[in-house]
Every structure is written in structure tokens, then in C-alpha cells.
Amino acid sequence: MYEEIKQVVLYVRYSSANQTEQSIEGQVRVCSDFCQRHGFRIIEIYADRATSASKDIEKRVEFLRMIKDAEKKNFQAVIVYKLDRFARSRYDSANYKYRLRKNGVQLISATENISNDPEGIILESVLEGMAEFYSAELSQKITRGLKESAYKHNSIGGAIPLGYKSEGKKLVIDEETAPIVRQAFEMYAEGHSVADICRLFNSRGYKTSKGTNFGKSSFSKMFHNERYIGVYQFHDYRAEDAIPAIIDKKLFYQVQARMKSSGKAPGQFKARHIYLLSGKLYCGHCGSKMNANSNGTAGYSYYECYGKKNLHKDCHKRNLRKDFIEDIVINDAMSLLTDENINQIAEVTIRTNLHDIEHCTDIPAIKDKLHETKLSLSNITKAIENGLAPETLVKRMVELEKDKKALEEELKKEEKKVSYLDKEQVIFWLNQFKNGDIEDADFRRQLIDLFVNHVTVWDEDDNHFKVTIAYNLTSLHEKTYHLKRGGRLSDLSSMHQDSVSNPIIQGTLLYHTTHCHLKPHQWRKFNQEV
């Protein structure tokens, strides 16, 4: 399930206002036990004491430090005791989960499988998706400005490669670190292994451009970097001899030739599998989660029943090929992007957004105080108009005016922290999302996050396979696909039943035919024995 995760950090938070919450120490203990079971190495613990998730995010110093540290990409996951330890505001949760994900970092709850209620999941998925969309849109505008800088061969931000430093927007050679780069290229061209170079550099106390020790992966990016031979590259703009060269071209291409002949670049890693149904896939026989796994020798990835493998339950559920089950769910979810459902999603999003603002911020309380203040001012004004104007009353009026102004400023400050979503804006994004690429990994993930609450799978006695998909849109029925193993796609039929909360479906199922819109190569997967 978490094969790609090696190093993690813990984030724990304790609000003294609620004495029933797990203490910091209790949260750390539960999270540490979770990490030990899954073989994670904890490299740091971030703890905010006596702070509320619904107050100023700026006051959560350790939380913000953790978000910033994620940019260093030293860890692959943040472990929390419960998801509400991360953030109670959906907007904050979506925003900061998006920032973590951009840096390849997962958010994992040590005590929860599926987060929160369906409507909340929809809101968070929409917020995150819109953040990505508008970020991409904004980046296009920024890119145009950056290109102007690129044409001047100016440094446009980002990490400065080892061996260089920035002076007046230009990259210049750093004479202190440039020899390290030259030595790395020379040693690799002479036949030294990356491991040998790595050991030598670390023994001498050399550091990467980020100030960390060298690892095997450090050299893959270095040896491919054409800036070392003076090439300036920005998107489709490329200029030779635009910056000072550290490596001569002959040496550079010797290194390229050796990397090519070796079959892979130094420090190259296998592509990570993204298991889209992690935490959402259940065994229909015993009710356990289906965890992700892979078979390196056979070259395929699959889901297996956790109860059968780890809890020694008397369960006979067979493993499920990853692509097989994910394609079924993806294509079924894709069919839900109708105009009617898009409108419903927008309504749910707006309603839940307003609910969260009312219950997870101080805005309602400030508005109540402001209303009371204005009412008191109105009463005093009426009294003065009626000829009642004692000195104490006038003094009180001045105080209330000050209170009113302060509350109005506080309200503006709080409203800047939240996002009031517009229905038309949400519908516009969903219509853009509707045209997404079903083969794109990020699009597939967003689609499942948006629609799918949980999936339940069974092996049937008559050699049939059954999968039931429960959706976050509660107005939608669950869908169950019934398929003969090794059969033809024409054998595929669908069964509908009203949504139930239990992952193990109960009751009578009503059969009727439906179509599953898969691409030709995806159709073939249905014919494979799982």
C-alpha cells in the first residue's frame, strides 16, 4: 500500500481547550506504532501545543515549518493521529494537501481509512482541483513574464545548480564548489562508479547545492544538466554559450555516452505506482481493506485482502490486478460527469463551503457581536433624537463606535482567510475537468477523489467477479458490476441498489443492463483472468 514511502514526519497538535483530545504524547505513540507496522522511518516530529486548527494558521508555527520543509523532498508522507489534527477548515486542508502533493508528499491518518463525510470530500476535491486549475492558468501568465527574462539569459529563480551562484540576476561560476562538479564528471568519465564518487565526496565533507550529503540520485541530475556546458534552457527557448561553462563539451558527452551504455542514468529510480484506491477498496467477504502490493518478478501490481494476509482471517479473496479494478472504477466515475451531476456537485460544494465557514471560523461570532453593537448604537441614536442625551450616554456612543470599527476590521481580516465559492465558478471548472485525459494519472486521482467513497469487491462461487462502487454524491445509487472471469465484455451487466453505509452490501439487487465506456485497450483488460 505504501511501497514508495520510506521516510516520514509526524505532525501532532493539542488544543488545551478540549481535554478529551489525545495528548501530544498519545498522538506520537499511536503514530509511531503505525509507522513501525508499515516500516516507515520517522525523521522529524512537528508539534503545535495549545493551538486550534480553526484559528489563525500563522499561529501554528510547527505546521508551517513542516509545509515548508516538504519542499526539500526529504520525506514522502506526513502522518497525523486524525485528519482533523491537520486542519479543520476544508479550505485550509485542501490548500495545504495540494502543496504537499506538489512536493510528492502524502497525508496519512494513523487511525482513519476514509476521511470525513461524502459532502466534505466533494468540497475538498473541488477546492483542490480548482487550486490546481487556476494555478496552471496563473502559471501561463507568469511564464510569459519569465520568458522575457529568459531571452536576457537571466536567472529566473529555482534551485541554483552546484558550482554556480547568482549575481545581479546572472549565473556565475562559484569557484568554491565548481571544482566538485568537475571532479564528479572526470571520475565518472574515467570509469569510477557513482557509489565510489558518493563515498569519496561525503568523506571529504562535500555538500549538494541544498547543503545535504550526496546520494546516488544526486548525480543523475548533475550529469544531465546542460547548464554545465553553457546551455540556457527555458521551456522551448534554448541558447548555446549563454552562461559560463564549468565542463567542456567533450567531457560532458563522454559522460552522456557512458550513462547511455550503462542502460540507465546514475541514481535512476523505478517509476512509482500510484494506487488510486488505497484506503477506499474493501474485501466483500471479510470487510477488510484491500492493500496495494506489487510483484517485481512478474511485473504487475495488485490489491490483496489485508484480513487474509495479515489478520489470518478465513478469507479466500483472490488478489486483484491494479489496472483491472482501477479502470472499472475510473470509467464508471467518468460516466457521472453529466450536466445534472455537475450542477448537483456545485450545489453541494457551495452549501458545504458556507457550512464550514459558519462552523470552522470566527466569522459568525464576529458578525453577531457587530450586529449587537450596531443595535446598541441605533438605540442610543434614537434616545438622543428624543432629547435624552446625558454625558454617560454620549460617552457610551463613542465607545460603541470604536468597537464597531474594530469589529469591522476584524471581520475583513477573517473573511480574507476563507474562500467564498461561486457556483458558476465551480461549474466552469467541472466542465473543464469533464474534458480531462482519462490516461493522465493526476486526472484519474482527482476523479476518484471527487466521486468515489468506497469500493467493495467479491469473488463469486460461479466464477464471477463482482464490484460495487459507492459514491460521495448520496443521491446516486451504488453501482455493481457483475463479470465472468475470462469472459467477454458482452457478459458485463450492472446492478443498482440504493446507497448503504456498510461496505458489505446487503439486501436484494435489481439487475439491468448498462454500458461501461472503456477504450479498446481497456476493454481487453476485462477479458483477462485476475
Evaluate if residue 246 carries a pLDDT over 70.
Answer: yes
Q: What is the pLDDT of residue 157?
A: 58
Q: What is the 3-state secondary structure (H, E, C) of 342-380?
A: HHHHHHHHHHHHHHHHHHHCCHHHHHHHHHHHHHHHHHH
Instruction: Indicate if the pLDDT at residue 255 is higher than 80.
Output: yes
Answer yes or no: do 305 and 404 share one domain.
no
Percent helix, strand, coil in the chain (nearest 5)?
45, 15, 35
Query: Which of residues 81, 112, 143 is at a domain's end?
Result: 112
Higher pLDDT, 78 or 24: 78
Confidence of residue 493 (pLDDT cuts 50, 70, 90): very low
Query: Is 70 exceeded by the pLDDT of residue 191?
Result: yes
Same domain for 446 and 521, yes or no, is yes
The confidence score (pLDDT) of residue 57 equals 55
Q: Is residue 241 part of a domain?
A: yes
Q: Are 142 and 127 in contact (CB under 8 A)?
A: no
Q: Of the candidates 229, 262, 295, which is a domain's last residue?
A: 262
Mean per-residue pLDDT over the chain, rounded: 76
- Judged against a pLDDT cut of 90, whether residue 314 lies above it is answered with no
Higher pLDDT, 169 or 458: 458
Considering the domain architecture, whether residues 229 and 97 belong to the same structural domain is answered as no
Other C-beta atoms lying within 10 Å of the C-beta of residue 320:
23
Name the residue with higher pLDDT: 147 or 383.
Answer: 383
Better-scored residue on pLDDT, 497 or 512:
497
Same domain? 328 vs 441: yes
Highest mean pLDDT among 127-136, 407-416, 516-525: 407-416
- Please report which confidence band the pLDDT of residue 517 belongs to, taking 50, 70 and 90 as the band edges: very low
Give the mean pLDDT of 469-476. Answer: 76
Percent of the chain whose predicted confidence (pLDDT) is above 90: 17
What is the number of other CB atoms lying within 10 angstroms of the CB of residue 56?
12
- The pLDDT value given to residue 353: 75
Q: Which domain CATH number covers 79? A: 3.40.50.1390
Burial class from Cβ neighbours inside 10 Å (0-12, 13-18, 19+) for residue 173 reads middle
Q: Is the model more confident about 482 or about 467?
A: 467
**Does the pLDDT of residue 166 top 80, yes or no?**
yes
pLDDT band at 477 (very low <50, low <70, confident <90, very high): low
Determine the pLDDT at residue 69: 92
Residue 351 is assigned to a structural domain of this protein: no
Q: Which of 52-61, 203-212, 467-476, 494-503 has the highest mean pLDDT?
A: 203-212
Q: How many CB atoms lie within 10 A of CB 445?
A: 17
Taking 50 as the threshold, does the pLDDT of residue 269 lie above it?
A: no
- Condensed to tens digits (0 to 9), the pLDDT of residues 356-365 reads 777 667 788 8
Q: Has residue 61 been placed in a domain?
A: yes
How far is the C-alpha of 392 from the C-alpha of 388, rounded, in Å?
Answer: 11
The number of folded domains in the chain is 4
Which residues share a beta bridge with 9? 44, 78
What are the phi and psi torsion angles at 13 (to 5°)? -145, 140
Quote the crossing angle between the two packed helices 217-224 and 249-262, to the nearest 10°.
130
| Torsion angles phi and psi, residue 14, rounded to 5 | -135, 125
Q: Would you say residue 147 lies in a domain?
A: no
Cross-strand partners of 247: none
125-134, 318-327, 399-408, 448-457: which has the minimum mean pLDDT? Answer: 125-134
In Å, how far from its chain's centre is CA 180? 36
Would you say residue 449 lies in a domain? Answer: yes
Q: Kindly state whether residues 439 and 307 are assigned to the same domain.
A: yes
Are residue 93 and residue 187 in the same domain, yes or no?
Answer: no
C-alpha cell, 123:
468540497
pLDDT mean over 30-44: 91
The size of the chain, in residues, is 530
**Is 79 part of any domain?**
yes
Average the pLDDT over each of 42-46, 138-142, 172-176, 310-314 and give the range with the smallest value. Answer: 138-142
Considering the domain architecture, whether residues 394 and 463 belong to the same structural domain is answered as no
3-class secondary structure per residue, 292-329 = EEEECCCCEEEEEEHHHHHCCCCCCCCCEEHHHHHHHH
> In degrees to the nearest 10, what's the CA dihedral of 521, 523, 524, 530?
120
Is it the case that residue 335 has pLDDT exceeding 90?
no
C-beta separation of 504 from 288 below 8 A = no
Orientation of helix 178-189 relative to helix 194-203, angle to 10° = 150
Confidence of residue 216 (pLDDT cuts 50, 70, 90): confident
What is the arithmetic mean of pLDDT over 160-170? 86
Is the model's pTM score more than 0.85? no
Q: How far apart, in Å, do the first and last CA atoms of the chain sit?
A: 19
Note the pLDDT of residue 21: 47
CATH (domain of 224): 3.90.1750.20
Position 251 confidence tier, pLDDT thresholds 50, 70, 90: very high
- Assess whether 258 and 335 both reside in one domain: no
Q: Kindly state the average pLDDT of the residues 39-62.
A: 74
Residue 389's domain comprises: 362-415
Question: What pLDDT shows up at residue 528?
Answer: 36
Cell of 168: 545581479
Phi, psi of 340 (to 5 degrees): -65, -45
pLDDT band at 369 (very low <50, low <70, confident <90, very high): very high
In this predicted model, what pLDDT tens digit does every residue of 430-464 receive, in sequence order?
Answer: 887 787 777 877 788 888 888 888 899 988 876 77
Q: Could you tell me if 433 and 408 lie in one domain? A: no
Q: Greater confidence, 495 or 251?
A: 251
Backbone angles phi, psi at 366, to 5 degrees: -65, -40
Residue 129 and residue 431 in contact, taking contact as beta carbons nearer than 8 Å: no
Mark which of 50, 85, 112 sits at the end of a domain: 112
- The C-alpha cell of 446 is what? 482527482
Whether 256 and 221 share a structural domain: yes
Closest Cα partner for 228 from 174, 268, 267, 158? Answer: 174
Nearest to 184 by CA among 211, 213, 222: 222
Q: What is the predicted pLDDT for the residue at 217?
A: 79
**Are both 451 and 511 inside the same structural domain?**
yes
Rounded to an integer, the average pLDDT of 22-49 is 88
Pairing of strands 7-14, 41-49: parallel
User: Has residue 1 been placed in a domain?
Assistant: no
> Which positions ≥6 away from 492 have C-beta within 8 Å?
481, 482, 483, 516, 526
d(CA 246, CA 336): 55
37 by Cβ neighbours in 10 Å (0-12 / 13-18 / 19+) ranks as exposed
Mean pLDDT of the 71-89 span? 82
**Mean pLDDT to the nearest integer, 394-423:** 82
Residues 253 and 161 in one domain: yes
CA atoms within 13 A on the CB side of 41: 6
Which DSSP letter does residue 211 get? Answer: S
Decide if 146 is inside a domain: no
Q: Quickly state the pLDDT bin for 140 (edges 50, 70, 90).
A: low
